[in-house]
Structure 1
Amino acid sequence: MATRRGQDTESPYGVCRQRGRVGRWGPGERQNSTQRVYTYRFWISRRSFRYLGRYSDRRQQLYKGVAIKKFILVVLVLLVVGAAASIAYYLLTKGERVARPQVVGSVRVEILNGCGEAGVARRARAYLRGKGYDILGIGDAKGHFPQTIIVERRSPTNTNARLLARTLRLDETDVTQLLDSLSPVSVTLIIGEDYGKYLPDTVETIQ
């Protein structure tokens, strides 16, 4: 006795829903070989779809986890490379800053006597030449200066004046600026009454 369309039937392989095929068997009816093959194929196909669905979900979760791990790894690599580049740049620029004060031959100095004592400008010329500076000339300043002043003439950042101040062990607050791009002088030293704290009495004591 055949079953109606859409009715579930029991089989050795599980519950099978009839799909309108003529000749389906009902409960208690004997199955022929063709019916058994169809039932088995239908049962396998249902299990296969379920398995493929679960496998697809697992694969998507796996791909998401791998993508997140790759993203974190890329971020960490970029951070490490950036930190290494920053450290390398700092070390290189620090080496340049340390080495720059040793190059004084390109700094052209004008020395002016502002304390009124004879021979002080010549002593300063000998001292700075011994340090490697290029002395363009000496002379007398207009006026009297109780404190030594270093005047920057070329660099907007007072590079030459600060270099000379470090050589004479003077404070950088003694540095001022009077820029003149046409002047051959890099920096002007105006010697004040306090020259004794940085200028030795003789050239021999310098050397």
Structure 2
Amino acid sequence: MRSWPKVLMFFAVAISSACGREEQPPPRRIRVEVLNGCGEPGLAKEVARFLREHGLDVVNGEGSNASHFNFLESIVVDRCGDLEKARYVAKVLGIRNCIQQIYEEGYHIEEVTVVLGKDMVDKVGGR
């Protein structure tokens, strides 16, 4: 029975440590490209602003349009070979789709591309 205080103390410290943890900072400055893939006016601009507020470097101004507007779900694309950066951006935006598609030729400034789908319209409206 004398071990109970030690066990309780251990759990109290473990719970206190877990609750007191701060969210991990981004893995250095991340250069992000934001593309509107659903055609909703102003969506890329709003998401670009949100990302900047969270310390991310949006490299294409207020966002641009994707090659088409048929994206139903948003997707985050790793462009530089560091999937951790893409996963961080996906977490900030609440996007579950994250893939790796590295540019083969030439230099591109963006490390991560976010293509906004129709699912993001409700998310942004609710912020």
Q: Which residue of 2 aligns with 1:116?
A: 39
Q: Determine if the alignment matches structure 1 residue 126 to structure 2 residue 49.
A: yes
Shift of 1:100: 8.5
Take 1:154 and 1:132, find their aligned partners in 2: how far apart are those partners?
A: 19
Q: Which residue of 1 aligns with 2:94?
A: 169
Q: Determine if the alignment matches structure 1 residue 153 to structure 2 residue 79.
A: yes
Aligned residue pair count: 102
Take 2:54 and 2:32, find their aligned partners in 1: how far apart are those partners?
A: 12
Take 2:23 and 2:85, find their aligned partners in 1: how far apart are those partners?
A: 10
Q: Secondary structure at the match of 1:112?
A: strand
Compared CA separation, residues 124 and 176, structure 1 to 2 (3 A): same
Structure 1: which 5+ runs fail to align? 1-97
Moved over 3 A (4+): 98-101
Take 2:36 and 2:81, find their aligned partners in 1: how far apart are those partners?
A: 23
Take 1:139 and 1:162, find their aligned partners in 2: how far apart are those partners?
A: 21
Q: Which residue of 2 aligns with 1:66?
A: none
> What does 1:18-167 align with in structure 2 at a 5 Å threshold?
101-103=24-26, 106-137=29-60, 138-143=63-68, 144-156=70-82, 158-167=83-92
Larger helix proportion of the pair: 1
TM-score, structure 2 length as denominator? 0.70
Shift of 1:180: 2.4
Shift of 1:105: 5.5
**Residues 25-66 of structure 1, C-alpha deviation per residue, up to 9 Å, x if partnerless?**
xxxxxxxxxxxxxxxxxxxxxxxxxxxxxxxxxxxxxxxxxx
TM-score, structure 1 length as denominator? 0.45
Shift of 1:185: 0.5
The structure whose Rg is larger is: 1
Q: Which residue of 1 aligns with 2:5?
A: none
**Residues 154-181 of structure 1, C-alpha deviation per residue, up to 9 Å, x if partnerless?**
125x11110111111222xx01111127
Take 1:184 and 1:99, find their aligned partners in 2: how far apart are those partners?
A: 30
Take 2:22 and 2:93, find their aligned partners in 1: how far apart are those partners?
A: 17
Shift of 1:99: 7.6
